[in-house]
């Protein structure tokens, strides 16, 4: 499961100097194709709703489904999302398109990172590819 938080559905038009020119549809296609390459199905979701994100994390935990998550702005303050991510029963990798540490100070804190298997940031859309590769390696080494 690849989960995307607020404003990520606007990829391609939202601050392309920060987030790149790839559209959200392009992101979905890349994640889906890479999943097939690794032999697993990838579901990609996007929401501006904290409640919906928490529900998807519960669903993943209940089904022991690995997660790649870009929480967007929820990264910095959503304790509800952090608590839902802490319930994970499979690997959970946090991703960010930009490098939060090279941006505004408020972006330097992630409440998700402490409960994630790992964090990948700053590689553009490639952050998702790196996360899916890491996930595939974790799943095959089990």
Residue 96 appears among annotated catalytic residues: yes
Residue 45 appears among annotated catalytic residues: no
Task: Confirm or deny that 48 is annotated as ligand binding.
Answer: no
Residue owning tokens 């298997």: 117
Task: Confirm or deny that 110 is annotated as ligand binding.
Answer: no
Task: Confirm or deny that 78 is annotated as ligand binding.
Answer: no
Task: Confirm or deny that 117 is annotated as ligand binding.
Answer: no
User: CA-to-CA distance for 79 and 123, rounded, in angstroms?
Assistant: 26
Bridge partners of 118, per DSSP, are 93
Write down the catalytic residue from 79, 96, 101, 128.
96
With H, G, I as helix, E, B as strand and everything else as coil, classify residue 121.
Answer: strand
Task: Confirm or deny that 107 is annotated as ligand binding.
Answer: yes
E strand or H helix at 93: strand 92-96
By annotation, the residues acting in catalysis are: 19, 96
Binding region: 70, 76, 83, 97-98, 107
Binding region for substrate: 70, 76, 83, 97-98, 107
């Amino acid at each position: 499961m690849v989960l995307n938080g607020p404003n990520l559905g606007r990829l391609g038009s939202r601050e392309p100097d920060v987030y790149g020119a790839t559209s959200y549809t392009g992101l979905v296609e890349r994640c889906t194709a890479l999943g097939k390459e690794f032999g697993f199905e990838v579901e990609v979701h996007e929401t501006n709703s904290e409640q919906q994100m928490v529900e998807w994390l519960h669903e993943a935990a209940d089904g022991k489904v690995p997660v790649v998550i870009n929480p967007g702005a929820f990264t910095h303050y959503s304790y509800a999302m952090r608590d839902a991510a802490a319930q994970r029963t499979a690997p959970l990798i946090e991703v960010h398109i930009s490098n939060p540490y090279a941006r505004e100070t408020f972006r330097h804190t992630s409440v998700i990172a402490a409960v994630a298997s790992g964090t990948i940031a700053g590689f553009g859309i490639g952050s998702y590819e790196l996360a899916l590769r890491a996930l595939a390696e974790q799943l095959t080494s089990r």
